[in-house]
Amino acid sequence: MASDNNNKKKLTVSLLDYGAGNVRSVRNAIISCGYSIIDITNPSQIAQADVIIFPGVGSYHSAMTVLQSRGYDNALRDYLASNKPYLGICLGMQTLFESSEETVGNPLPGLGVIPGKVIKFDETKRSVPHIGWNGTIQHQKSPAMRYISERNEEVYFVHSYYAPITTENSQWVLTRTSYEGQEYISSVQKGNVVATQFHPEKSGKVGLNFIKGFLEVSSFCFNICISCAQLCTTQL
């Protein structure tokens, strides 16, 4: 008789590449974890996705402009509200907030899932952008971090804007990081929605283990949903 593992269906990762930069390293990381990829090219695909990874690069204003013009923004809000697995990377995390200082002309609202505004590092007090390896301090437990030790593991950052920790968004904080005296949110999680300011795909074994842990737990959620034929309410 076939084992339970053999009966499990492998989820497919839906990759939201809005065309602002090279996401080859993210693709390679997903494939190395043993998952296939489908590219999101239409808003209708978002609701049908098993799991979404959004590796945003570039500027917040450009990202939100593209999401709005292609009709992805409202589809993403609905998807996130359904508590289905989502991993945002860099701008994929920043766009989850209500707004950002990184705008041109009229301010563009973010997806508004997380309370708060993304702001720029003070250039008079530190080097901007923040580029390089830095540590993270864990705020809450997460199965997505099952393969990462609790010590201050270093990951790779490239950013000029950051999300401050506030009373309103503190329940979202998964890890925090300090850059030249400024503490900020380096990753978030609530339910099945996860996002990182750092680049796991550029963070060596630690980053690959983060993606691996996230996708394994997402697969568990996915198979539970198939077996009970309902939307996923299992939390990472």
Consecutive sets of 10 residues in the chain, 236 residues long: mean pLDDT of each?
53 87 87 95 95 90 92 97 95 96 86 97 96 91 84 89 97 96 96 95 94 88 47 50
Instruction: Let me know if 228 is a catalytic residue.
Output: no
Q: Are 28 and 52 in contact (CB under 8 A)?
A: no
Q: Which CATH number fits domain 9-228: 3.30.70.890, 3.40.630.30, 3.40.50.880, 3.40.50.300?
A: 3.40.50.880
Please report which helix (H) or strand (E) contains residue 213, including its range.
Answer: helix 204-228
Separation CA 152–CA 142 (nearest Å): 15
Give residue 22's pLDDT: 67
Which is catalytic among the residues 102, 153, 201, 216?
A: 201
Instruction: Let me know if 199 is a catalytic residue.
Output: yes
Q: pTM value?
A: 0.89
Please report which helix (H) or strand (E) contains residue 219, including its range.
Answer: helix 204-228
Rounded to whole angstroms, the maximal C-alpha distance in the chain is 66
Which is catalytic among the residues 199, 216, 221, 232?
A: 199
β strands within the chain, DSSP E: 12-15, 36-39, 51-56, 86-90, 97-100, 114-120, 130-135, 137-138, 154-159, 161-162, 173-179, 182-190, 193-196
